[in-house]
Structure 1
């Protein structure tokens, strides 16, 4: 353990947090310290301890290599970390030392600690560490791991008491395992306040993984010459310990102390705290082995925590998979949640569950009354859309203090739909905490007195109320996933409803299209019959009339064919509002080839670009084309046949219809057909031009594709 502080609010409790423990200006007297220049011959410029009697009378100013009998530069080259333990011992005047070399800016620090008579060989130490690591790996759970670790560290260090001390969320500490001399009292499961270990001490525990105090009652050996009192000794194991901490240990009845940091993922998880009733040395090789063992312990703690979290995630996933399919039903959200409320309550190990939507409440299990649940839900939504998870609801919502037996813990999910909130509730768990001494006892100071550590470590029981079991990180993550899956289920429901509406609309469209087909078929049938009847009358009249009248009646038949073709296209196409003009002209010309005969049919050439035009404009264009072709057959080649070229082009939003021949280059523009054609062109808001085709006549009709 480290430095305890009183919790009296009238005192400045940050005094120990500001104590410069990394520059104590002295070391513990069981070892020696040399401070040398980092460059050149590494001459010693300061030191601490009984250097004259134990190492060399003329140590000050001597080269470091001469004092330690080592190649200092070689040791520095092989050093990969902030310190290096030399492989050979250092000879003193009447004893041998183990040297530890540190870099500290522009200085070198060398610790010299007495060597034990029979140190363990490296082979024996490695074999022992391997066996201890194996026992850690085989531990079935975390508590078994902690218990085995306490036994292993006591075997390694030989201390009377070894405790596995874990830091809690509020920075207080708890002894989770202990191995001790049966004659000693137990601190197992006892708590120690967060103030027992100041902030700067915690930082040093991460930087310097092992610390030892072989004798509590010692007189510190100051650095000399006196100008080196501000030297940073953060990495020095011999560093003088705070007087407050030493008094703390005396109050506990401890004769010697050691601590080994348990650092997990770069954070201080806890300590291996060692106490001995009498003075006891912890040599550097044992400290190094203890640090290695603590690293293995940290890895096993992480592995078992991850395994437990993985099992919990699997169980929560399985519970989700059984609940979510029920949410995909098409019933309202409230009914869907009511159907699975028991499963939702059990999923997060809650004592009660409720869904609050406005003033409507559905609950199961142990829950407060409806008005309280509505008030909690409104408070949750007032905090925003994020979930709320707390095991001390009354500290956030004082009104909940009246319902500690039902709602001390809360996990709440504001849903996006129907202004609903899901509440998981946990009842109060009355907890009795065993403290090593009363952490709340005030210290009354009189003027001139200094702050001292608490003197009593007798077991003190404290009953804590207003808290429930904590929500695990996995449970909170499961709640986040559940909200997403709720939202997805509601969205999927909306998609299914929209799909049904779309399918119904499509079915109605198909029915209307079928009716349209029947209607168009009937209309086409009647129109075609009527046009055929008129064409038959014209044919009969042409036979009877002969001469010019017969030719005019033949032209009328061609015009009727153009109209009839439009109706046939309307019947065949799904798109009744528009017509592919190129296909329409191609079919119209095919009919004209039949009516004009093979002699003309083989001379007609087509070059058509696909253009989609409204149906009514296609009728007018078809009549214009028919008239232009009839004029070419009548006037271009008197008494014979010749080439006729028909082209269809698109230029931006306009189309051009071109009919050209290679004949004599003129036509009759005074007949009925010409007047009808001019009327059609005007209806299209277009214009028509006639020019020389060299030889022949070239007619170009230009009009907008769509009516403007």
Structure 2
């Protein structure tokens, strides 16, 4: 049967229920009734804890043993007004002994922490400017901080301890007393500072153990739950941690939190070989200097980031310019491959595209890149994938060689994941020195019948050779990679919009071209028929009168000129993207009669009577206006030609903003349900059988009126005729 193991991170250290010997604690509710107090209150307040739990905070002022009622009254008044974010400190005297009284609120309760003020405390705040100058001018901020804090608190060892990506820690700076072994560069495993301890370091920035063997005192409470000591300076520490300190050769310890961007970046950890109390004022100064160093660190980091950002922006501009100019993105990226690798601090670059795989620098070959690409796409959906030990984790299943690379970053440019960029890094073999072998020690607790964590007994340097892991990509490098992804995506989107715009122009161009193409096959038939019939008459008649000869030759001449004009328009159109014209006034009293004559000849409708009303001039383009009237009048004559009394009426009227032309016939008409589709190309009406036609005439009409800005309206009834209204802008 397996024995259970207690995890170190499960120990509720903030609910330990005990305080250290250098201070005592009183907790009150919002009505100032005392709900909890530590046992060592009795020595300073002259009454039992049981009695205190029956009183309010006013008792502390009224009690005859208090020597400084005014200061205490002021502190209690402040306690009633304090908030979760306030932490006020007062100096008071209890039984002729100086104390600090810290007042703060937490979890809907008021905390009063009394702590001895050390008579030997040095007023270190007087040297604040000197310390700030040391941190400002030092080559290494954290080393300067260690020296300053060592001077303030007088401890044997002061270390700056930085957390790594894997949650382990490393000593990056140190001030140590002569004769002691240096810990600089040593690593500490993650479990040395468990999860719940790290959470407390974020809440309360200083933690003191003045004597690991000193007596601690229990907290008595009327509450139904343990008193939360997350923000307490006098909280007793875990027995496991105290044993850890003793094993490390320390009798006293202080830690100050290094908070960067709201995260626990590291700690200033201080150790002393013998018990040593540190006054609250000195600890607060150390907290201030730590935060000052953080601000200095962030300021220098910002300068570095700004310089890097400037270089990135210059590169982006050059890349963006090329991406805009060049149609093919792959040659552009290939030409910038070296710089893309340098900015990302990569050993190699690969571009995976539907058109192929392109390799640059120290990258695996194309088939391997394709295999990696497929594997990552099949196992996760992140647009940006990063793994420093990719070969170590997946090398065996993918048959990868560790000599090619160790880690990679992959970005997907498109949602289909067919276009991706890879940055590769080779392994960085490092020799990592640990402060003792990084392994958890578990011992069996007979009473609880469970294995519990036990502190390591050895802190002698233990060497570990780390292989198969690439250097971690920094924030700046990942920022650059993300910017490149965004830049390429924006470029592709811009090109997509350009292609869409060109397609729209092409649609307009094709539509206009269709109009003129149909003209060649449709509208030129009319003048060609006139020419053909005129020539046939000239050939058939031996003796022809001068009058008839003149008329036929005029017909041929007019028809030829009309065809020439149409063909010229087609040529002009072929040279421009969009058909444009300068509107001018066109007289129709010659065009329309000419069209009528030609249509009668073409359709053999000599019996068709055409009545003309007033024919007003219109604004437009001559060829288009001719084609417009030609198609409508031709249909009117054609579809009424089989009527015994075929009749067509053409007239125009003037209104304030328009000139309306009406072409009306008494032909076969159009069914009501077919009126919606009369402008569809190649669409012929259901009753048009027996009449010559291809179904393009009215499609041409619709495109012409759209270009001329003419409104068209059709009214029709089967077997009764059709009426077209054309409204020309006036």
TM-score (norm 2): 0.67
Q: What's 2:93 paired with?
A: 91
The answer as to 2:406 corresponding to 1:404 is no
SS of the residue corresponding to residue 177 of structure 1 reads: strand
Aligned with residue 310 of structure 1, among 300, 306, 313: 306
Q: Quote how far apart the aligned CAs of 1:99 are.
A: 0.8
Tell me if the contact between 1:49 and 1:222 (Cα under 8 Å) persists in the aligned partners: yes
Tell me if the contact between 1:49 and 1:221 (Cα under 8 Å) persists in the aligned partners: yes
The answer as to 2:390 corresponding to 1:388 is no
Task: Return the alpha-carbon distance in structure 2 between the equivalents of residues 364 and 165 of structure 1.
Answer: 39
Q: Quote how far apart the aligned CAs of 1:175 are.
A: 1.4
Counterparts of 1:237-386 in structure 2 under 5 Å? 237-322=233-318, 339-355=335-351, 362-368=358-364, 371-383=367-379, 386=383
Task: Return the alpha-carbon distance in structure 2 between the equivalents of residues 229 and 683 of structure 1.
Answer: 99
Q: Quote how far apart the aligned CAs of 1:655 are.
A: 7.4
Q: Quote how far apart the aligned CAs of 1:248 are.
A: 0.9
Cα 1:463/1:11, change in 2 over 3 Å: farther
Q: What's 2:180 paired with?
A: 184
Larger Rg: 1
Counterparts of 1:137-156 in structure 2 under 5 Å? 137-138=136-137, 144-156=140-152
Q: Quote how far apart the aligned CAs of 1:588 are.
A: 5.3
Q: What's 2:44 paired with?
A: 54
Q: Quote how far apart the aligned CAs of 1:208 are.
A: 1.4
Q: What's 2:632 paired with?
A: 617
SS of the residue corresponding to residue 200 of structure 2 reads: helix
Q: What's 1:461 paired with?
A: 463
Q: Quote how far apart the aligned CAs of 1:263 are.
A: 1.7
Tell me if the contact between 2:527 and 2:559 (Cα under 8 Å) persists in the aligned partners: no
Cα 1:117/1:371, change in 2 over 3 Å: same
Task: Return the alpha-carbon distance in structure 2 between the equivalents of residues 214 and 116 of structure 1.
Answer: 12
Tell me if the contact between 2:444 and 2:452 (Cα under 8 Å) persists in the aligned partners: yes
Q: Quote how far apart the aligned CAs of 1:409 are.
A: 1.5
Aligned with residue 15 of structure 1, among 3, 7, 27: 7
SS of the residue corresponding to residue 22 of structure 1 reads: helix
Q: Quote how far apart the aligned CAs of 1:243 are.
A: 1.0
Cα 1:101/1:11, change in 2 over 3 Å: farther
Q: Quote how far apart the aligned CAs of 1:149 are.
A: 1.6
Superposition RMSD in Å: 5.6
Task: Return the alpha-carbon distance in structure 2 between the equivalents of residues 37 and 396 of structure 1.
Answer: 54
Tell me if the contact between 2:364 and 2:405 (Cα under 8 Å) persists in the aligned partners: yes
SS of the residue corresponding to residue 433 of structure 1 reads: strand
Deviations 1:659-699 (A, max 9, x none): 9xxxxxxxxxxxxxxxxxxxxxx9999xxxxxxxxxxxxxx
SS of the residue corresponding to residue 182 of structure 2 reads: coil
Counterparts of 1:64-75 in structure 2 under 5 Å? 64-66=60-62, 67=66, 69=69, 70-75=73-78
Task: Return the alpha-carbon distance in structure 2 between the equivalents of residues 338 and 259 of structure 1.
Answer: 51
Tell me if the contact between 1:330 and 1:493 (Cα under 8 Å) persists in the aligned partners: no
Aligned with residue 112 of structure 1, among 111, 114, 130: 114
Task: Return the alpha-carbon distance in structure 1 between the equivalents of residues 290 and 127 of structure 2.
Answer: 14
Q: Quote how far apart the aligned CAs of 1:214 are.
A: 1.4
The answer as to 2:85 corresponding to 1:79 is no
Tell me if the contact between 1:341 and 1:364 (Cα under 8 Å) persists in the aligned partners: yes
Deviations 1:118-156 (A, max 9, x none): 6566xx72x63344345444556xxx1111221222222
SS of the residue corresponding to residue 407 of structure 1 reads: coil
Cα 1:502/1:619, change in 2 over 3 Å: closer
SS of the residue corresponding to residue 297 of structure 1 reads: helix
Task: Return the alpha-carbon distance in structure 1 between the equivalents of residues 615 and 534 of structure 2.
Answer: 28
Tell me if the contact between 1:162 and 1:275 (Cα under 8 Å) persists in the aligned partners: yes
Tell me if the contact between 1:43 and 1:63 (Cα under 8 Å) persists in the aligned partners: no
Tell me if the contact between 1:351 and 1:427 (Cα under 8 Å) persists in the aligned partners: yes
Q: Quote how far apart the aligned CAs of 1:452 are.
A: 2.1
Task: Return the alpha-carbon distance in structure 2 between the equivalents of residues 655 and 683 of structure 1.
Answer: 25
Q: Quote how far apart the aligned CAs of 1:475 are.
A: 2.7
The answer as to 2:722 corresponding to 1:703 is yes
Tell me if the contact between 1:585 and 1:622 (Cα under 8 Å) persists in the aligned partners: no
Q: Quote how far apart the aligned CAs of 1:159 are.
A: 1.8
Q: Quote how far apart the aligned CAs of 1:250 are.
A: 1.0
Counterparts of 1:164-175 in structure 2 under 5 Å? 164-175=160-171
Deviations 1:508-564 (A, max 9, x none): x99x989x99xx9999899799999x9xxxxxx9999xxxxxxxx9xx99x999999
Task: Return the alpha-carbon distance in structure 1 between the equivalents of residues 412 and 440 of structure 2.
Answer: 43
TM-score (norm 1): 0.68
Task: Return the alpha-carbon distance in structure 1 between the equivalents of residues 106 and 335 of structure 2.
Answer: 68
Cα 1:703/1:608, change in 2 over 3 Å: farther
SS of the residue corresponding to residue 472 of structure 2 reads: coil
Tell me if the contact between 2:347 and 2:425 (Cα under 8 Å) persists in the aligned partners: yes
Work out the number of aligned pairs and report it: 603
Task: Return the alpha-carbon distance in structure 2 between the equivalents of residues 501 and 266 of structure 1.
Answer: 52
Tell me if the contact between 2:638 and 2:691 (Cα under 8 Å) persists in the aligned partners: no
Tell me if the contact between 1:44 and 1:63 (Cα under 8 Å) persists in the aligned partners: no
Q: Quote how far apart the aligned CAs of 1:254 are.
A: 1.0
Task: Return the alpha-carbon distance in structure 1 between the equivalents of residues 223 and 500 of structure 2.
Answer: 85
SS of the residue corresponding to residue 253 of structure 2 reads: strand
Tell me if the contact between 1:83 and 1:100 (Cα under 8 Å) persists in the aligned partners: no
Tell me if the contact between 1:569 and 1:584 (Cα under 8 Å) persists in the aligned partners: no
Q: What's 1:101 paired with?
A: 103
Task: Return the alpha-carbon distance in structure 2 between the equivalents of residues 336 and 645 of structure 1.
Answer: 65
SS of the residue corresponding to residue 388 of structure 1 reads: strand
Tell me if the contact between 2:28 and 2:35 (Cα under 8 Å) persists in the aligned partners: yes
SS of the residue corresponding to residue 261 of structure 1 reads: strand
Q: Quote how far apart the aligned CAs of 1:220 are.
A: 0.9
Q: What's 2:713 paired with?
A: none
Tell me if the contact between 1:437 and 1:458 (Cα under 8 Å) persists in the aligned partners: yes
Q: Quote how far apart the aligned CAs of 1:389 are.
A: 2.2
